[in-house]
Amino acid sequence: MRSPIAAAFLLVLAAPVLAATVLAAGEPATLRFDEMYRTPVGPAGLEPTARLLSLQGQRIRISGFMVRTETPTVGTLILAPSPLEGPHGEDGPADDLPPQIVHVHFTRSESGAPPAWTPQRLTYEGRLELGPLEEADGRVSHVRVYVDAPIPVSP
């Protein structure tokens, strides 16, 4: 049985885009964490907003805080709306991260090392991808941004 969020993403990815976002040529849309899921959460569980779905495959800009993880992954980091620390190994599969997180993937990882943790607000631009995907660390992501360079855009 699939989770309600996975089912919603699968249905939407197979259907036409619900809403169009009109932007100047080359200007990425800004996505905020509070625009990702409908609130309040209903009986169907988390549901992506029309705004999030309309940005699928488009270039976006998002600002947030890097989640500090015990074992960072090469070429990937997790961005959250507020400063957070990820689960520790002794916590097992427990996960206290909010649903409004974004996995940032660097399409070019020049150093071959995980990104260094930084406590400041970061802004990234890249192509938005939606839908369930098992990450290298075993976590299943539903919202990802693929950026071209491992250097964040100035806030």
Q: What is the pLDDT of residue 109?
A: 62
All residues at 6 or more sequence positions from 104 whose CB lies less than 8 Å from its CB, including other chains: 76, 77, 78, 79, 124, 126, 144, 145, 147
Query: What's the pLDDT tens digit per position in 69-90?
Result: 888 888 899 999 999 887 655 5
Query: Which among 97, 95, 101 is positioned nearest to 81, based on CA atoms?
Result: 101
Query: What's the pLDDT tens digit per position in 124-138?
Result: 999 999 999 999 888
Range 108-132 average pLDDT = 85
Give 38's pLDDT tier (boundaries 50, 70, 90).
very high
Global confidence as pTM: 0.77
> What is the set of domains in the chain, with CATH numbers?
4-147 (2.40.50)
